[in-house]
Each structure stands twice: as structure tokens, then as C-alpha cells.
Amino acid sequence: MKDLVVTGSPSSLSTTTAAASVGERRLRLMGRSQNEPPENSRPEPRVWRNGVVGVLDIGSTKITCLIGKGEPNGMLRVLGHGWLRSSGVKSGAVVDLKAAEAIIRHVVGNAEREAERSLDKVIVNLSCGQPESRLFNVHWPIGGREITDADIRRIVTEGRMKAQSEGRAVIHTLPLDFAVDETDGVTDPRGHLCDQLRARLHVIDASATALRTLDSLLGRAELKLDALVSAPLASGLAVTDADQRLVGTTVVDMGGGTTSLAVFADGQLLHTAQINIGGEHVTRDIARGLGTSTDNAERLKTMHGHADLSGETDDGVTIRIERAGGDTPSFEAIPRAMLGDIIRPRIEETFELVRDRLDSAGLGRLAGGRVILTGGASMLDGVGSVAARVLNRPVRLGRPNGVIGLPEKCAAAGFATTVGLLTWAASAERPFGDIEFAEERPAGVLNKLVSFIRARV
């Protein structure tokens, strides 16, 4: 049975403690408390890098920094954390450098003080620049000799060159499998003898202009870009285990400004996609539908919202709302089901788009199976039942696991991307066969930036 996972920012519901209370309430309904380990909490066997790493999750509704390291028992230890409501970021893209810089300085400073160490470089999630995912088949002549590291480097470089397009920069080049002559499904061809080497590569790229803006933003905050990591890739690392990624798992990351998805199978990341709809769109729908402010709409969504409750299934509960626009505040009592009638169409639209992206990816049965929801917007009551109905698959809620030292408020589903970034950063070997090779760096500022990212990612 395959799994489909959904993730995002807790701020996509709310940046207040209300979001944590909603998550805690959902966990109680599922039969465990916030402090209890998740159902798949046993850490995977991992080899960690030496030393401490820092990661920065730049989202539309929150910006988070974690400083941590890997432990011998396979767990991750968080040494310092900082997070604030986002500013200057919209739908994953940086739109106000000054505002975003101020938030980044603040959250990084908080994490540094808690960890009692400073950061000069960070690993950052990639959600800006309209990231895209493509598959390439690449051939390389070997001539009957033994395959070497240099051959792998050449075939991966050839794949990158095939993937290059004007204005885009390749971020990840993930070898899915190799074939040596007529032998398919070779995971590591080095040492094999063959005439022809073939590789199936998964390439993720993004707008080069957006990457330059991101690099400029970090520079303003006195930080260096150590590496970029696909946001859904990171979320998948945080909320799935090796078995789930082997049999097939699709991760859907429901954030504040975007919803992203990642399809895993055979232990590899096969596909990613991003949809520019998130929890903030639900908040704006409520504000318009009820004639209230966005702050009140966010509170109503967090405290009383239900994605699958309609007027036909009215639970009899009434809620008090504040109408906007008058000289003095005016209040009105409405059925809770009316709020559900506003929320439900947007959530249905989101999962219909997810379904369409999965259908158009051409992955067939690999894109099917169980659904694991994670992320701030996934914590809204009724989202799971909508997902199960629209996608026609079993659904469960996922949250980060295998982490110690993470504050309770950060252990919810909305921090999956951040925890996944820390997992990626601390791993001695890059997940999903992401092969690292030093390459000669070309001249030019942009080319140097792209080459630097490739060498690290």
C-alpha cells in the first residue's frame, strides 16, 4: 500500500498558540498526546556528518531557523531554534527584501543564542522560483571498460545539460536508477564492465532570477547559502520512513501560500510539484465571505473552522463573528456550518489540483496509495476527510519524528519542512542517491552561484 503525505507551515493555520492547541486536540482524537511519539517514531539507521548544522525555512507564513546535529542513536538533536510570522514572502517568493531580512536576522539570532554558537552559512528550503520536476534518460559510452566515478560524473553532468533551459537553474539531479548494457535497475554502476551506461535522472530546477534574489537576501542578513533543498523533498524526509518511501508514498505539503507534493517509490523521489494555493487563501475567503478582517478570519479558521462541515450536516453550534467596516464593532452569531461552507470549496479545489498533478505526472500506480497529510493547513478539522473523498485514498496526518530537543510547539505538522531540512543537512550521505562531485566552476556571478549550488546539492 502506498502513502500520500501532506505538509506545510503551522502559521498557515495560525502563528499563535491556537495552532498548537488545534494540533494537540487532533492528536487526542487520534488517541495520543502531543508529547507521545508518533506511530513511526523509531529512527532510521543513519550516518550523520560531524559537527553542527544550521537550516532556514523561508515560508509564506513563518520563517524558522534550527541549529542541530545528528546523534549516534539515529536521532536528530535540536540545539537552538527561532521562528516568527513571515514578512516579505508571498507564495514562497521573496517580495520585500527589507522585511524578510529583518525576520531572518531575528529568528537566526534567537536560534544562535539558544544554541550558544553563531551561524555563517545555512541550508535553505527551495519553494521560490516556481520549481519544476522532470525526468531524463541519458546514455554514455563506456567502451567495455570498468565504470568509474568520472563516468558517473559525466552522465550526471550530461543530464544537467539536457535539463538546462534559459533562465532556469538546476538544483537537484537525482539518479533514480542505472542500466549497464542490458542489465536494468542497477543502483550503483561503479565497478561494472559495460559498453553503454544509461541513467534515469530526476531533475528539479527553478528560476535563476529567484535564486539570485534569495542569495542577495541571505547576504543582507550576513549569511551564506550553503545549499538549497526542495521543500517537498525535505518534508518527505521528516514525515515518512524508509519503508514508506520504498513501497510508495506521496507527500503533499500544505503551507500558507503554496501546496507542494512529492511522490516517493522504490526509495527514490520520483516527482515534485507546487500549487499556489494554501491556508492564506482560506483565510481571505473567510474574510470576504463574512465581511470581517483577515485577523478575525484567521482566528475563526483556527478555532472554529471545519473543512467538511456543511449546512446539510449542521452540528447546531453557533459562533460569534465581528463584522468589519463600521465606525464601531458589530457582532453577529452565525452557524458554524456557514464557516464550513466557505472553507470547504477551497480545500476541495486544492485536492482536485493535487489529483490533477498526480494524474498528469504519468507515474501510474506509483502515484496512488495511502495519503499522509502534514503541514499547518492540514491541521484544520475535516481536511483529512476531504482529501480521502477527492483523492479516493486512505488518509492520515503526519508530523515530524526522530527529533529530540524540539520545543513542543514546533513538533506539529507545520514544522515538517524545517525538520526535514535538518535531516538532509546532517546526513553524511545525501538522501535519494544525490551524488556529489566537485566540478570546475565557470566564470560569472550567476554561473558561480549555480555551480556552487550544484556542487552542494
Q: Can you give the CATH number for the domain in which 188 is found?
A: 3.30.1490.110
**Does 406 reside within a domain?**
no
- What's the confidence (pLDDT) of residue 224? 95
Residue 149 inside a domain? The answer is yes
* Residue 213 belongs to a domain: no
In a domain, 448, yes or no: no
CATH value at residue 297: 3.30.420.40
Q: Is residue 318, in this structure, part of any structural domain at all?
A: yes
Q: Give the per-residue pLDDT at 202.
A: 92
Assessment of whether the complete model's pTM goes beyond 0.85: no
Q: Pick from 205, 232, 258: which residue ends a domain?
A: 205
Which cell is 453 given?
549550488
- Distance CA(53)–CA(424), nearest Å, equals 10
Which of 149, 177, 205 terminates a domain? The answer is: 205
Do the strands 371-374 and 3-6 form a parallel or antiparallel pair, or are they unpaired?
A: parallel
Q: CB neighbours (10 Å) of residue 449?
A: 18
Whole-number Å distance between alpha carbons of 311 and 12: 25
Residue that terminates a domain, selected from 154, 175, 205: 205
CB 457 within 8 A of CB 425: no
Integer angstrom CA distances of residue 124 from 65, 211, 295 = 9, 11, 29
On whether residue 258 sits in a domain, the answer given is no
State the residue range of the domain holding 290: 281-341
Domain count, the chain: 2
Run means of pLDDT, 10 residues per run, the chain, 457 residues: 44 39 39 39 72 94 94 92 93 92 97 95 91 91 92 89 86 91 89 93 92 94 94 92 88 92 90 93 94 92 89 79 75 89 96 93 78 89 94 89 84 89 89 54 50 46
Give the pLDDT of residue 209.
92
Q: What is the spatial distance between Cα 228 and Cα 55, in angstroms, rounded to a whole number?
A: 10
**317 located within any domain:** yes
pLDDT of residue 44: 66
